[in-house]
Structure 1
Amino acid sequence: MNYKRLETFVWVASLGNFRKAAERLHTTQPAISARISGLESELGVKLFEREGGSSPITLTSKGKELLPYIEKILYQTEQLRKRAGVSNTYTGVLRLGVSETIVNTWLPDFLTRLHTDMPNLDVEMTVDITTNLALGIKDRTLDLALLMGPIPEPNIVNHELCTFALSWVASPRLALPNRLLYLEELTKWPIITYARATSPYIEINQKFRELDGPPAHFFASSSLAACRSLAIDAVGISTLPNVMIRKELAAGSLQTIRSVWTPSDLTFTASYSDDPFNPLAEVATNIAVASAQAYTDNQDDQLA
């Protein structure tokens, strides 16, 4: 039985739309229609109700009956591939979403490992804030996201990757006192931090709102590299992952600030939807877990 026809059936059933299935499978709507028609002819049953217009495509009663069997066939096919160690046979496109912290740490190693294990795979990469990446996973415009997780949805699989601690930092040119500082003392300068829709920004903003006295002013950015540059240029005080500022601290262009409060550590996950079963995301997630662990082990060795 034709694998592509079965895969197409599952994606059309999941997305309820030939156009979305075509985008997901990187082909055309006529090709999707042809595969479904071919599968219906092969099985001798009608699988979908096609009402036309903007109405979603729905499964027939027979289609609903066959869906779990076809999903099981696809799943077992992928298990066979894994058992046989034939990951190099994977083709197509992996739509990957990545948080910038990962871009600045172990993403190159992950992509190198991914290409070694799956040389016939193409990658479409989106670098964005976690809120947008999570939406991409939920609406299936992304196959896999490496983000600040987990995504608390029943059909989302989350695998823990790594945790990064944050520190307050500033340019020595700001001449901050070399002692433990209260947050009220930091409000003299702009607080350079994560984009507004992110959990670090929300936590930091809430903490400063609780203070008495003049309000803090925030320079929020979706680019951590920009935040780092602004801190180096003495524009304000920033909170950044320690792994992103070690060179700057060693060179003296930044210095850590001891404060009575520091934002929570950032926990990252590899997250993807398993409805329908997504073998590319599953295999890529295992590679991401290995890359994150290797990076963490290397950082621990450097600090030892």
Structure 2
Amino acid sequence: MNYKRLETFVWVATLGNFRKAAERLHTTQPAISARIAGLEEELGVKLFTREGGSSPIVLTSKGKELLPYIEKILYQTEQLRKRAAISTAYSGVLRLGVSETIVNTWLPDFLSRLHKEMPNLDVEMTVDVTANITIGIKDRSLDLGLLMGPISEPNIINRELCTFPLSWVASPKLDLPDRLLYLEELTKWPIITYAKATKPYVEISQKFRELEGPPAHFFASTSLAACRSLAIDAVGIATLPNIMISKELETGNLRKLRSVWTPNDLKFTASYSDEPFNPLAEVATNVACSAAQEYDKTQHSNGAT
């Protein structure tokens, strides 16, 4: 039985649309139609029906009955490939969503390992905030997200990757006192932080709203590199991952501030939808976990905190 036909059937059933299935499988809509027609002829049953107008394509009763069996066939096929160590069998495109913190740390090592593991694989990478990557994972426009997780959905697989502590930092030009600082003392300058649609921004802005006195003003950005540059240029006070400011602390362009409160550590996961089974995302997740663990070991051996 033709593997591509079975794979196409599962994706059309999942997405409810021939065009979306064609985009996902990097082929044309007529090719999708031909595969489904061929499978229906081979099985001797009607698998899909359209209810009319712009309604999505839906499974027939027989299609619903056969779906779990076909999903199992695809899953077992991929398990066979893995046990046979056929790395060259993995080809196609992996649509990857990445948080910028990962981009600035162990992403290059991950991509190098991924190419070694699956040399026939192409990667389409999107660097974005976690909220947008999460949407992409849920609507399956992305195969895998390396993000601030986990994603709380029953069909989403979440694997822990790494944790990055945050610190308050500022340029020595601001001449802040070298002692424990209250948050009220920081509001004299703009608070440079993550974009609005992120966990750190929500946590930080909520904490500052609880303070008495004048409100804090926020300079939010999707670019951590931009936040770091603004802090170096003494535009304001920033909260950044320790891993991104080690060089600036050594050179004296930035200094850590001691404060009565610091945001929670950033916890990252590799997250992907397992319905339908996605072998590329599963293998890539294993590679990401290895790269993150190796990076963490290297940082600890170098004395990074």
How would you bin the TM-score normalised by the shorter chain? over 0.9
| Matching residue of 1:106 | 106
Matched position secondary structure for 2:157: strand
Larger deviation, residues 235-244 vs 38-47: 38-47
1 CA distance for matches of 2:71 and 2:261?
A: 50
2 CA distance for matches of 1:21 and 1:52?
A: 19
2 CA distance for matches of 1:149 and 1:53?
A: 39
Shift of 1:52: 4.6
2 CA distance for matches of 1:252 and 1:101?
A: 22
2 CA distance for matches of 1:248 and 1:36?
A: 58
| Matching residue of 2:11 | 11
2 CA distance for matches of 1:118 and 1:53?
A: 42
2 CA distance for matches of 1:95 and 1:123?
A: 6
User: 1:182-241 deviations in whole A, cap 9, x for unaligned?
Assistant: 000000000000001101000000000000111000000000000000000000000000
| Matching residue of 1:225 | 225
Structure 1 unaligned residues grouped into runs of 5+: none
User: 1:82-110 deviations in whole A, cap 9, x for unaligned?
Assistant: 11111221111000000000000000000
User: 1:63-99 deviations in whole A, cap 9, x for unaligned?
Assistant: 1111111000000000001111112211110000000
| Matching residue of 1:36 | 36
| Matching residue of 1:183 | 183
1 CA distance for matches of 2:87 and 2:192?
A: 43
| Matching residue of 1:81 | 81
Shift of 1:50: 2.7
1:262 maps to amino acid:
T
Which contiguous aligned blocks of 4+ residues in structure 1 show a shift greater than 4 angstroms?
A: none
Query: Alignment identity in percent?
Result: 81
| Matching residue of 2:299 | 299
Correspondence list, 1:228-243, <5 A: 228-243=228-243
TM-score (norm 2): 0.99
| Matching residue of 2:57 | 57
1:73 maps to amino acid:
I
1:292 maps to amino acid:
A
2 CA distance for matches of 1:162 and 1:52?
A: 48
Shift of 1:54: 1.1
- Whether 2:93 is the aligned partner of 1:93: answer yes
| Matching residue of 1:115 | 115
User: 1:154-177 deviations in whole A, cap 9, x for unaligned?
Assistant: 000000000000000000111110
Correspondence list, 1:165-176, <5 A: 165-176=165-176
2 CA distance for matches of 1:87 and 1:32?
A: 26
User: 1:132-173 deviations in whole A, cap 9, x for unaligned?
Assistant: 000000000000000000000000000000000000000011
Shift of 1:303: 0.6
| Matching residue of 2:261 | 261
Matched position secondary structure for 2:302: helix
Structure 2 unaligned residues grouped into runs of 5+: none
What is the root-mean-square deviation of aligned Cα atoms in Å?
Answer: 0.8
1 CA distance for matches of 2:181 and 2:192?
A: 17
| Matching residue of 1:141 | 141
2 CA distance for matches of 1:61 and 1:191?
A: 57
Shift of 1:271: 0.2
Number of residues of Structure 1 aligned to a counterpart in Structure 2: 304
Matched position secondary structure for 1:152: coil
Shift of 1:42: 1.0
Shift of 1:244: 0.4
Shift of 1:53: 3.1
1:165 maps to amino acid:
P
| Matching residue of 1:199 | 199
